[in-house]
Amino acid sequence: MNQTAGYIGRRTLKSFKHILDLFAFNYRIFKLIFKRQKTGRVLIRRVILEQVYFTAVQALPLIIPVALILGSMLIIQFSRVSNQYDIGKTMVLLIIRELGPGITALLVILRSATSIAIETGYMKVFHEIDTIEMAGIDPIRMICLPRLIGITTAIICLFIIFDLVSILGGYTIIWIFTYINLGDFLGQMGKAIIPTDIIVGMVKALCFGIIITVTCLYRGFNVKKNITGLPLATSKAAIECFFYCLIINVVISIVFYM
Amino acid sequence: MKLIELSNYTLPPTGTGNGLKKFYFALSKGDMCHIQADSPDDAHLFLRAVAMLEYSKFCDYRFAGKKINFSDHTNLLPYKKKMGYVTNDAAMISNMSIRENLLLMRYYFENSFSVDIDDNVKNLCNVFEIYDKLDVRPGDLRPTELRSAIMVREFTKSPEILLLERPEDFARQTKFNFIVELVKKMSLSGVPVIFISYNADFIREFSNKEIIIAKGNLTTVKT
């Protein structure tokens, strides 16, 4: 009994410490945003652009079909339940409020977050982070800051694209199988959507971007001097990101809609 | 005037080494220190300690008399910048070309991408036969070429202290004379050098101080 209680206690303390470490790491990166150092801006700007290109632009061929398929599938199922009544409202409820940010975050975790954890872990194991430090450059400013800004921006952009494309996909299905015209469909959506929906979507995308980047960078930076620690850190980073995103999703929904 | 002073350093062992037990070490301008250790891991650990890449909770590091505050890693960066670190674990950033690696500090501190490598760097690249490989990534270079590129980068950053680990491994046999010349130039300009080498001629030519690490105990002897 004592052993079990001890185990649970140790695990709880470890998890609590991990969460505090993540917050501390997050604070260190955010502090740099407000420091507004003049040196290295061109270098950081370039990494931000590369990150946005890699996370958002290169992900478009993946996210567009996923959004189209999901949007149309949802409409098919919900039009049966609601008998074509309030389809626009259903779209708003499901896609803009919940699925849009969630699926976008999931795709970013699968595609970009894991690669960040691998990249930083690799840099740690092969002493590239030491090299950056020996050049007098802060690795947090050069590696973490541009990735945080780049990925968060990319997630917000992808979220908007996902919403638009899935609504378009949904309307395509409606156009094929029903007699509802675009004006009615958009009218229904216009009535259903409230400014809070847009704000919530953006807040979720922003929070997901921060959580995903910070968790993956933290895991990457924590790889010890052994390459075998890299796959473990990557899988932990991916699972953790997904879990934290789900929790944040619930918390934000409760805060705004309850 | 001591350029650097390390005291109260105790470092845990790495690899097959014994670690370093509480030691004091001072380095002045013109010192050329050769490290002789019973374990290469301890010698390497000492170089990392001098480069501020390893430190302990209660250690005391003074650079030009000024005590270094280890509580924030950004405090160390201006000092690290002043050190040439040519060791086995020195690396190139793999997602940048060799040219970008050589220019990284200038890109960052001059805040511009319009800078290009200067003549001195070009000459060294020519000497070590990496000039035509400046636009490839480090992964595309042979190990010797990669080490030469690392050496060019570190020598040309005008260091105030040079840390060298087995310089004989950093270029082909035929090019080793150029490294000797570079180190000679550094020593003549008063830049202190701490090095590990198994080349007897190199040790004889440069060493004026011997750092002996035996079973984790560090002592310094003048030669």
Per-residue pLDDT tens digits of chain A, which is 258 residues long: 778 899 999 999 999 999 999 999 999 999 998 888 888 899 999 999 999 999 999 999 999 998 888 888 877 777 666 665 566 677 777 788 888 888 899 999 999 999 999 999 999 999 999 999 999 999 999 999 999 999 999 999 999 999 888 887 777 777 777 776 777 777 777 777 888 888 888 899 999 999 999 999 999 999 987 889 899 999 999 999 999 999 999 999 898 877
Q: Could you report the predicted ipTM of this complex, rounded to two decimals?
A: 0.92
The Cα-based distances of B174 to A14, B22, B178, B180 in angstroms read 55, 41, 9, 12
B105/A contact by beta carbon, under 8 A: yes
Residue B44: predicted pLDDT: 93
A and B: number of Cβ contacts within 8 A: 72
Those residues whose C-beta lies under 8 Å from the C-beta of residue B210, and which sit 6 or more positions away, are B33, B34, B36, B220, B221, B222, B223
What pairing do the DSSP bridges indicate for beta strands B60-63 and B66-67? antiparallel
Q: Among partner residues B85, B89, B111, which is closest to A39 by beta-carbon distance?
A: B111
Residue A84: predicted pLDDT: 57
Contact flag A137-B108 (C-beta cutoff 8 Å): yes
CB-based contact B47:B196 (threshold 8 Å): yes
Long-range contact pairs involving A247-254 (C-beta distance under 8 Å, separation at least 24): A248/A204, A248/A207, A248/A208, A248/A211, A249/A98, A249/A101, A249/A102, A249/A204, A252/A200, A252/A203, A252/A204, A252/A207, A253/A97, A253/A98, A253/A200
Residue A86: predicted pLDDT: 67
Spatial distance between the Cα atoms of B85 and A134, rounded to a whole number of angstroms: 7
Quick one: which H or E segment has residue B27? strand B20-28
* Cα nearest neighbour of A28 on chain B: B72
How many Cβ atoms from other residues are within 10 Å of residue A6's Cβ?
A: 10
* Cα nearest neighbour of A133 on chain B: B77
Contact flag B91-A136 (C-beta cutoff 8 Å): no
List all residues of chain A from 41 to 100 with a beta carbon under 8 Å from chain B: 41-43, 46
Residue B221: predicted pLDDT: 85
Spatial distance between the Cα atoms of B133 and B51, rounded to a whole number of angstroms: 29
CB-based contact A169:A68 (threshold 8 Å): yes
Q: Among partner residues A42, A119, A132, which is closest to B107 by beta-carbon distance?
A: A42
A39/B contact by beta carbon, under 8 A: yes
Which of B44, B84, B81, B79 is closest to B165 using CA atoms?
Answer: B44
> Partners of B195 in the beta sheet?
B34, B164
* Residues of chain B neighbouring A127 (CB-CB closer than 8 A): 89-91
pLDDT tens profile B151-178: 999 999 989 999 999 988 887 778 888 8
Q: Among partner residues A42, A126, A135, which is closest to B112 by beta-carbon distance?
A: A42
For CA atoms B114, A134, B138, B169, give the dihedral sign. positive
Instruction: Spell out a b/e string for A47-76, using b for 16 or more CB atoms within 10 Å of the CB, else e.
Output: bbeebbebbbeebeeebbebbbebbbebbe
Q: How far is B204 from chain A (nearest CA, A)?
A: 29
Residue B29 token pair:
């301008």
Spatial distance between the Cα atoms of A88 and A186, rounded to a whole number of angstroms: 7
* Cα nearest neighbour of B48 on chain A: A130
Q: Among partner residues B91, B104, B108, which is closest to A127 by beta-carbon distance?
A: B91
Spatial distance between the Cα atoms of B62 and A116, rounded to a whole number of angstroms: 36
Low-confidence ranges of chain B (pLDDT < 70): none
Residue A83: predicted pLDDT: 60
Spatial distance between the Cα atoms of A161 and B12, rounded to a whole number of angstroms: 52
pLDDT tens profile A34-49: 888 888 899 999 999 9
Contact flag A131-B107 (C-beta cutoff 8 Å): no
Residue A97: predicted pLDDT: 81
Quick one: which H or E segment has residue A159? helix A145-177
Q: How far is B105 from chain A (nearest CA, A)?
A: 6
Instruction: Spell out a b/e string for B45-59, using b for 16 or more CB atoms within 10 Å of the CB, else e.
Output: bbbbbbbbbbbeeeb
DSSP H stretches of helix in chain B: 40-50, 73-80, 98-109, 119-127, 143-155, 176-188, 200-206
Q: Among partner residues A46, A130, A136, which is closest to B77 by beta-carbon distance?
A: A136
* Terminal CA-CA length for chain B: 20
Instruction: Spell out a b/e string for B201-220, using b for 16 or more CB atoms within 10 Å of the CB, else e.
Output: ebbeebbebebebeebebee
A37/B contact by beta carbon, under 8 A: no
Contact flag A122-B107 (C-beta cutoff 8 Å): no
Contact flag B91-A130 (C-beta cutoff 8 Å): yes
Contact flag A137-B111 (C-beta cutoff 8 Å): no
Contact flag A131-B112 (C-beta cutoff 8 Å): no
B93/A contact by beta carbon, under 8 A: yes
As a whole-number percent, the residues of chain B with pLDDT over 70 amount to 100
